[in-house]
Amino acid sequence: MNARLRDVEIRQVGAGLLPDVGELFDGNATTRGCYCMWFLLAAKEMDAGWTGGNRLRFEAAVRESGEPFGVLAYDDDGRPFGWAAVGPRARYGRILRSPLMTGRDPAEDERVWMVPCFFVRVGARKAGTTQRLLTAAVDAAASHGATAVEGFPLAGPGPHRDDRYLGTEGLFAACGFHELARPSPRRVVMRRQLV
């Protein structure tokens, strides 16, 4: 698949793309259970929804929202192979309760957007896909009036064996983000100002 990644199409995810999200997420046990609800729900709710409830919640939330819930990358055959979640910081209740975000200004929660996680199908990794997804997520945020975009990737050069779905400090830096805080040895809060 890597040879076909030169002309990647990336689309913002609204209700019309839910079948494509399903096609991508159903191909992996973790994404099939999580359905990108980890940062939206409390742990107990998340665990209870692992066998289908998280998908139903995700789909309902996407249908109700006027803003994208993420971006999807497609290969030349029109198959989705990569995902990045993106949305207003206020959407991600679990993030807002995290010690990682104690220094944030709550007055910005509607205007500052977050990119909390990524997923790229096996066979399409290490081809610049995640950087393309992050760039498209920033573009989606900008097109919906965000004043800035944040992430809380893994800190330092790695190697990172766990939690790679968060992205890395190097990835965010390459896309124009700068460090806001280093709340733990493993995590860095990064921001890209848009206006």
* pLDDT tops 70 at residue 140: yes
Q: What is the pTM of this model?
A: 0.94
Angle subtended at Cα 149 by Cα 147 and Cα 154, rounded to the nearest 5 degrees:
160
What Å distances lie between residue 81 and 2, 24, 88, CA to CA?
11, 6, 24
- Contact at 8 Å (CB) between 95 and 39? yes
What Å distances lie between residue 31 and 27, 37, 67, 82, 146, CA to CA?
8, 9, 21, 12, 27
User: Which of 4-8, 16-20, 74-78 comes out lowest in average pLDDT?
Assistant: 4-8
Q: What is the mean pLDDT of the chain?
A: 93
* pLDDT tops 60 at residue 153: yes
Place of tokens 């809060």: 189
* pLDDT tops 90 at residue 6: no
- Contact at 8 Å (CB) between 57 and 41? yes
Q: How many CB atoms lie within 10 A of CB 106?
A: 10
* DSSP helix, strand, coil percent of the chain (3-state; round to 5): 40, 20, 40
Question: What order of strands is seen across the sheet that includes strand 80-85?
Answer: 9-12, 70-74, 80-85, 118-120
All structural domains of the chain, each given as residue ranges with its CATH number in brackets, are: 2-193 (3.40.630.30)
Average pLDDT score over residue span 27-50: 95
* pLDDT tops 60 at residue 165: yes
Question: Cα–Cα distance between 66 and 15 in angstroms, integer?
Answer: 10
